[in-house]
Amino acid sequence: MEPQQSRTNTLLIPLSIIVAGAMVAGTFFYTRSGESGQQAAAPQGEQPTQEVRPVSEDDHIRGNPNADIVIIEYSDFDCPFCAQFHETMKTIVDEYGREGQVAWVYRHFPIEELHPNATRIAMGSECVAELAGADAFWTFTDAVYASKEGNEPFDLTLMSDFAEEAGAGRDAFNECMGSGRTRALVEADFEEAVAIGARGTPHNIIIAAGQQAAVPGAQPLDSMRRIIDTILEQL
């Protein structure tokens, strides 16, 4: 995968205004304080408090990294709203990714105060990526979210099974987990999420025409379609 390149397209309307205008109420999320509720109280369409790290070959990405629209998701594997949004983003990439309009980047934001297992799962996903590659990371990630049942914590004993099914050898996976060597990758993503102003999960950053805008929460599919369609109309 090649790093994201700057595009010459420009937006007639600032991205933050496009996103804020396209979003609707009714979004749900998990906050670091442990509260859940409507995301309408959080800033929608605002620019991140600092520039988000550019997408590179080190990222986990579905779609063309040079797509018109790149959606960076900071997510928690044990968050039920993240599981809902994961299905939304799979549909978005299926609908818009085929023609290179949208790319999806996954970064980690495990909120251990709510989900003590979240960091371990994220470390497991990085072990799978290290051992079996990019496609295996997504296979593992899809399996974890598909197994999510409401607010019940993820069963860590399933990780080795999911890793093996994704193509990572069970023994090699267990060795990687035991070494703890992927923790630094997860912690770097977490620290970045905090630095850009993420308050809960999922927290999303949309990048288009060199501009960035925050889209907090598990936006419904129709809301994401509306945001994307509006941006594409302005390019």
153: left (phi over 0), alpha (psi -120 to 50) or beta: beta
> Smallest Cα–Cα separation from 217: which of 49, 25, 34, 33?
25
pTM across the whole model:
0.88
For the residues 8-36, what does the mean pLDDT come to?
70
Structure token pair of residue 212: 């960035």
For residue 59, the one-letter residue type is: D
Structural domains in the chain, CATH included, are: 15-234 (3.40.30.10)
Residue-level pLDDT at 40: 34
For the residues 1-10, what does the mean pLDDT come to?
51
Share of the chain above pLDDT 70, in %: 86
| Number of helices followed by number of strands (H, E) in the chain | 8, 8
Sign (positive or negative) of CA dihedral 150, 151, 157, 163: positive
Q: What is the pLDDT of residues 131-152, one digit of tens each?
A: 999 999 999 999 999 999 989 9
Calculated CA dihedral for residues 233, 200, 56, 93, nearest 10 degrees: -50
pLDDT band at residue 118, thresholds of 50, 70 and 90?
very high
Structural contact between residues 217 and 89, judged by C-beta atoms closer than 8 angstroms? no
Q: How far apart are CA 4 and CA 67, in angstroms?
A: 8
> Smallest Cα–Cα separation from 15: which of 145, 158, 205, 195?
205
Structural contact between residues 19 and 215, judged by C-beta atoms closer than 8 angstroms? yes
